[in-house]
Every structure is written in structure tokens, then in C-alpha cells.
Amino acid sequence: MPTPTYETCCIKNVNITHDVYEIEFEKPEGFTFEAGQFVLFQVPLPENPVDTQPRAYSIASAPHEAKLLFVIKVMAGGRASRWVAESLKEGDTVHMQGPFGRFFLQDSPEDILMVCTGTGIAPFRSHLLTMMETASIRNTHLFFGNYKEEDIFWKEYLEKMDAQNDWFTFVPVLSNGSQNWHGQCGFVQDAIAATIDGISSTHLYICGNPAMAEAVKKTAMEEWGMKKEKVHVEGFI
Ligand SMILES: Cc1cc2nc3c(=O)[nH]c(=O)nc-3n(C[C@H](O)[C@H](O)[C@H](O)COP(=O)(O)OP(=O)(O)OC[C@H]3O[C@@H](n4cnc5c(N)ncnc54)[C@H](O)[C@@H]3O)c2cc1C
């Protein structure tokens, strides 16, 4: 049976960094998903709305939340990027298909290491809230890589989650932070190695741009001795 399609309504489209938009949709009746899944939006061209093409976006809200939340990074000239930055507004009807994907947390008592850059954080927000909702918490580190201070979003939200939960550690990492940045610097894989002992006994989940995902996976397997079956990747191709 083909994956169902739904009509949904945009209820929020806000620019949260210079190139990331936080977008919320109504959850269509009958639509269900699990943390770690994504949907395809039929994305119209701003100048010709009947010309549509699908684009994949990870669901950042948790299944128990009332709305569907997404974070979308815009890139010059991209179809969905132009849609989000130039035309999508509250009240617009959007066609969506899903859910797709299997970026699920493994059913295992081992610690969790979440690694992402930019909007790759989306499925991890969903996973973290689901872990709390279903009381299936495990010792979890979230490494959030960005270029500069102004690229980090949801920082206060994640810092608060870290402060309120012993099992959760949030580590923002900047590859090009300013002199005022006192957090972790460099590539996410270097920050992980500097922060965590016994990495090989965790389950590693990586989400974001494919080059970063490949680099972290390679380091995990070749330098940290992680087994392939413990490395789980969602590449934003
Ligand atoms: C499973 C999955 C989940 C994903 N989840 C997310 C998510 O949660 N958030 C997120 O931000 N992304 C996510 N992505 C990536 C997303 O699907 C898109 O690939 C991304 O948003 C770019 O789409 P676009 O239509 O803007 O660019 P496209 O039109 O697909 O273009 C791709 C690239 O080509 C360049 N380009 C295209 N046309 C031109 C032109 N005329 N001139 C110059 N350059 C041009 C664009 O700048 C862009 O870099 C996900 C991908 C996958 C596979």
C-alpha cells in the first residue's frame, strides 16, 4: 500500500537564525509517526505554485505533541529554501506524504551518543522528548555542531533540559567560534573524543549533512573501534 498523503495547514514560519526557519503545521487527522521519521512535502515554485516537487524533512516534534515541528535550513537557489524564505506563510495548505524512515533508537540499555550539525538536530528533539514521555531514558549525550555562535538555535531550551535531567548532557560545538566562545571547538568528532570515555560501548546516532555524517562514522569505526551495527546515520542528502 502506498504511504498516505495528507493536507496540512502551516501555523508558524519563523526565521530563528540567519539561515534556519522553524516551521509548524497542524497534525492532520489520522497521521501517526515515530520519533526519527521524516515526511515529504510537495514543494511549489513560488512563481508557479502548480509546479511541485517532493523534499524530505525530519519531524522535530515528538509523537505525543499536538503539532508537527520542523527546522529547515535555506540554501541559495534551492526550491524548498525559496519556498520557506519567500512564500510559505501561516494559513497555507501544504501537501505532505509520510511518515518515512527508520532512524529509530535501538532497543538497548546502552548509552546513547547523538551527533548532529545544524538542522540535523530535528530527529533528536523528537527522540529526547519521546524518551521522557515514555520513561525510556538512557544516559545520553547530544553533540550539536555549528559554524559560529549565531548558528546555534534551541540553545537555552537544550541547556535547560540538560540542567533538569541527570541522564542528559548537551554539548554545543563550534568549528569557527569567536574569542568569546568558551565551549567546545573544532569538529564534532574531536569534541566527542575529548569529552566521553568508553565511546565504543555506546550507540552512536548521526544526523545532518552527509559529509559530516561520513566523517564521524569513519572516526567512530576506525579510531574508536565502534562496530558498524552500533552506528546509525540519517544523511540529509
Ligand atoms: C531523510 C531526509 C531528511 C531531511 N531532513 C531535513 C531537515 O529536517 N531539515 C533540513 O534543513 N533539511 C533536511 N533534509 C534536506 C532537504 O530534504 C533538502 O535537500 C534541502 O532542504 C535542500 O532543498 P532545496 O529544495 O532548498 O534545494 P534543491 O532545490 O534540492 O537544491 C539542492 C542544492 O542545489 C543548489 N541549487 C539549486 N538550484 C540552484 C540554482 N538555480 N542556483 C544555485 N544553486 C542552486 C541549492 O542551493 C542547494 O544547495 C533532509 C533530507 C533527507 C534525505
Question: Half-sphere exposure (CA, 13 Å, Cβ side) for 61?
Answer: 17
Return residue ranges of the chain for CATH 3.40.50.80.
Answer: 112-235
CA of 8 to the centre of ligand 1 (A): 21
Return residue ranges of the chain for CATH 2.40.30.10.
Answer: 5-100
Query: Cβ(85) to ligand 1 under 6 A?
Result: no
101-159 pLDDT, tens digit per residue, is 999 999 999 999 999 999 999 999 999 999 999 988 999 999 999 999 999 999 999 99
Q: What are phi and psi of 218, to 5 degrees?
A: -60, -45
> Which residue's CA lies nearest to atom 6 of ligand 1?
57
The whole-chain average pLDDT of the chain stands at 95
50-86 pLDDT, tens digit per residue, is 999 999 999 999 999 999 999 999 999 999 999 999 9
Q: What percent of the chain has pLDDT over 90?
A: 92
> Which residue's CA lies nearest to atom 46 of ligand 1?
78
CATH number for the region 5-100 comes to 2.40.30.10
Separation of alpha carbons 91 and 188, rounded Å: 38
The angle that helices 188-195 and 210-222 make with each other, rounded to 10 degrees, is: 40
Query: Is 90 exceeded by the pLDDT of residue 201?
Result: no
Q: How confident is the model at residue 199 (pLDDT cuts 50, 70, 90)?
A: confident
Query: Cβ(11) to ligand 1 under 6 A?
Result: no
CA of 104 to the centre of ligand 1 (A): 23
CATH number for the region 112-235 comes to 3.40.50.80
CA of 75 to the centre of ligand 1 (A): 7
Query: Cβ(38) to ligand 1 under 6 A?
Result: yes
Q: What are phi and psi of 140, to 5 degrees?
A: -135, 135
Query: Cβ(237) to ligand 1 under 6 A?
Result: yes
Per-residue model confidence (pLDDT) at position 193: 87
Read off the C-alpha cell for 4: 498516505
Per-residue model confidence (pLDDT) at position 200: 78
Per-residue model confidence (pLDDT) at position 10: 98
The pTM of the full predicted model, rounded to 2 decimals, is 0.96
